[in-house]
Amino acid sequence: MWSFVFIACTFWAAAPVFAVDVSIPLTAPTNASAISPSHVSFSIEQDRWTDWAQSEFLFNVLENLAGLSGEPPRFRIGADSEDRTNFQSGLKASETVFGPPTAATPYPEASSVVVGQAFYQAAQNLPSGTHVTWGVNFKSLNLTAAVLEAGAIASAFASFPSSSGLTLDAVEIGNEADLYSGGGFRPSGFSIAQYVPQWTSFAVNVSAAVPITLNSSVKFWGGAFAGSSHTTTGFSPQGLFSNGILSSTQGKEINTISQHVYSGSGLGCGTKNQCLQDLMSKAFIRGNLSVFSPDIAATKAEGLTYILGETNSYFDHGAANVSNTAGAALWALDYSLFASELGIERLYFHEGIGYKYNFIQPVTLNISVVDATPLNPPLPPHIQPAYYAAIIAAEAIGTSGTTSVIELSINNAFVSGYAFYIGGKLAKALFINSQGFFSGTTTARPSVQLALDIAGSGVAPTTMSVKRLVIGHADDTSGVTWGGQTYETSDGKVSGAVSVQNSTVGAGVNISATQAVLVTFGS
């Protein structure tokens, strides 16, 4: 049910590489991409939304990110369960129907969700300044349900005081409509040419309920497809445009095209170490994302924003002992920043209660996310290692509001690098070594020595500070530290003293296998 592009990678233990030259432009090149403080954001499975919204732990870990970048992550609320949701006026608590947990899917999605106004009102618990996109039911072709949901969403946001800073950015009509015919919700052969008039019909009524007009700040997201044909005749941005979706009054209110993509299946990808090394690897990340370049170009040609509105590692809630590991933090970090290089404005990493690939587990869990075995004692709210990717990205981007980023050319199969500019001036560089160092390894941990050459006219910095993401092993599920500090705390707030190494640019940077390093340049 999820889209993915799989590029095969070979797992191998490389000998240490002792020196690699890295050229870093002193001023931002013309191809540097502006990067939003909320570049790493979250997609939330709608069925248990109120569990998220009522979690003080969630509030704390979002505030961590807002403090580093100046803006909290954005939220997209919907996914599969947005198409299983119906509205009932006066309902105080959601009524959800879940199947039994299994070893493969310990926390299944709800098959039915019935909500009232309080469900949408719960967004008031999000940090000040949060931007939200909400999905409404399209799969069932029940126009009344979609309109009632849209009206309740609009009513909730209209009731929030302006001091809350909460903003309804957009409404999404349906989730992964390109898969509807496979589930029997549209006729066999359901096409993009049939989809566009159906979407437009719903949009006419949803836009009246919100409202969404030329002068309103609320817009539509378009697409939200599981895959892309990259053609004008299939489900893709090109298919939307060629079939006239932007021609209608409502279509003109689309300001964002959303694509869903996962990195493959955790089934049949080999041992957990092979799966994790594949996921982390530089070539795999670039292969998975670069195929969307034509879609990004077509979207930008229409003056629209292109995002990954739902994404994460391996689909079906992640792969056990892979998606929940420290190596996944390196994957998420490189994946997010390379997406910016391609022109993807923002990524919404998908989260659900108890999903293996979560960055954040916001409530107490009673069964294991890996195999559904009972937990005694239960596991309280906590972060998973991937959360460190969000922290590091937020810190690298910073609070300037004028940050831009470029990928650095590094002649090494494992090491990725990015330079960050504030007002066009070099400020930071981030390096990621995705070579897996796994538990049980008996050989020495490889490392790479990076020789930094800051190129260009002007006065180059000569000093720098170095902050490290320290990971014991790629397959660890805890014990990660960022600059000597941990977010693996009972309340999600950072703990410990900051550890930063001051050095000279001429000394270069040593980066071990399975590590990330943030360099902040001085004078």
Measured CA to CA, the distance from residue 191 to residue 180 in angstroms comes to 10
Site of tokens 């209608």:
248
* Residue among 436, 505, 448 nearest 476 (CA): 436
Burial of 474 (0-12, 13-18, 19+ CB in 10 A): buried
What does residue 71 show for φ and ψ, rounded to 5 degrees?
Answer: -155, 135
**Residue 400 identity:** S
Supply the pLDDT for residue 5: 42
Supply the pLDDT for residue 18: 56
Quick check: helix, strand or coil at residue 328? helix
Q: What is the pLDDT along the chain (523 residues), one digit of tens a residue?
A: 444 443 334 334 444 545 899 999 999 999 999 999 999 999 999 999 999 999 999 999 999 999 999 999 999 999 999 999 999 999 989 999 999 999 999 999 999 999 999 999 999 999 999 999 999 999 999 999 999 999 999 999 999 999 999 999 999 999 999 999 999 999 999 999 999 999 999 999 999 999 998 889 999 999 999 999 999 999 999 999 999 999 999 999 999 999 999 998 877 778 899 999 999 999 999 999 999 999 999 999 999 999 999 999 998 999 999 999 999 999 999 999 999 999 999 999 999 999 999 999 999 999 999 999 999 999 999 999 999 999 999 999 999 999 999 999 999 999 999 999 999 999 999 999 999 999 999 999 999 999 999 999 999 999 999 999 999 999 999 999 999 999 999 999 999 999 999 999 999 999 999 999 999 999 7
Reading the block at residue 501, the tokens are 């190494």
Site of tokens 């817009």:
219
Supply the pLDDT for residue 265: 80
Where in the chain are all domains bearing CATH 3.20.20.80?
A: 37-397
Measured CA to CA, the distance from residue 146 to residue 173 in angstroms comes to 8
Supply the pLDDT for residue 264: 85
Contacts of 408 (CB under 8 A, 6+ apart): 22, 23, 24, 416, 417, 418, 419, 429
**Residue 276 identity:** L
* Residue among 17, 65, 1 nearest 399 (CA): 65
Supply the pLDDT for residue 2: 42
Contacts 24+ apart (CB under 8 A), 352-355: 352/44, 352/45, 352/47, 352/48, 352/79, 352/107, 352/109, 352/317, 353/45, 353/48, 353/51, 353/52, 353/107, 354/106, 354/107, 354/317, 355/45, 355/107, 355/317, 355/318
Sheet of strand 509-512: strand arrangement: 20-25, 447-455, 509-512
Measured CA to CA, the distance from residue 167 to residue 230 in angstroms comes to 32
Identify whether 377 is preceded by a cis peptide bond (ω within 30 of 0). yes
Quick check: helix, strand or coil at residue 441? coil
Q: Are the C-beta atoms of residues 203 and 251 closer than 8 Å to each other?
A: yes
Supply the pLDDT for residue 3: 45
Q: Are the C-beta atoms of residues 432 and 334 closer than 8 Å to each other?
A: yes
Where in the chain are all domains bearing CATH 2.60.40.1180?
A: 403-521
Measured CA to CA, the distance from residue 272 to residue 269 in angstroms comes to 8
Query: How many C-beta atoms surround the C-beta of residue 372 within 10 A?
Result: 18
Question: Which DSSP string do the residues of 21-73 spell out, in sequence order?
Answer: EEEEESB--TTPEE--TTSEEEEEEGGGHHHHHT-HHHHHHHHHHHHHHSSPP
Query: How many C-beta atoms surround the C-beta of residue 117 within 10 A?
Result: 19
Q: Are the C-beta atoms of residues 250 and 297 closer than 8 Å to each other?
A: no
Which helix (H) or strand (E) segment is 377 a member of? Answer: strand 374-379
Quick check: helix, strand or coil at residue 341? helix
Supply the pLDDT for residue 16: 52
Q: Rounded to an integer, what is the distance from CA 59 to the centroid of its chain? A: 18
Contacts of 345 (CB under 8 A, 6+ apart): 36, 39, 305, 306, 307
According to CATH, the topology of domain 37-397 is: TIM Barrel (3.20.20)
Reading the block at residue 362, the tokens are 């916001």
* Dihedral of the alpha carbons of 83, 84, 85, 88, in degrees to the nearest 10: 130
Measured CA to CA, the distance from residue 234 to residue 359 in angstroms comes to 33
Burial of 100 (0-12, 13-18, 19+ CB in 10 A): exposed
Measured CA to CA, the distance from residue 397 to residue 430 in angstroms comes to 10
Q: Are the C-beta atoms of residues 314 and 279 closer than 8 Å to each other?
A: yes
Q: Are the C-beta atoms of residues 325 and 474 closer than 8 Å to each other?
A: yes
Q: Which CATH superfamily is domain 403-521 in?
A: Golgi alpha-mannosidase II (2.60.40.1180)
Supply the pLDDT for residue 267: 72
Crossing angle of helices 272-280 and 327-342, in 10° steps, is 30
Q: Which residues pair with 311 in a beta bridge?
A: 261, 349
Burial of 242 (0-12, 13-18, 19+ CB in 10 A): middle
Measured CA to CA, the distance from residue 346 to residue 74 in angstroms comes to 9
Supply the pLDDT for residue 458: 92
Reading the block at residue 289, the tokens are 């994302």
Whole-structure pTM value: 0.96
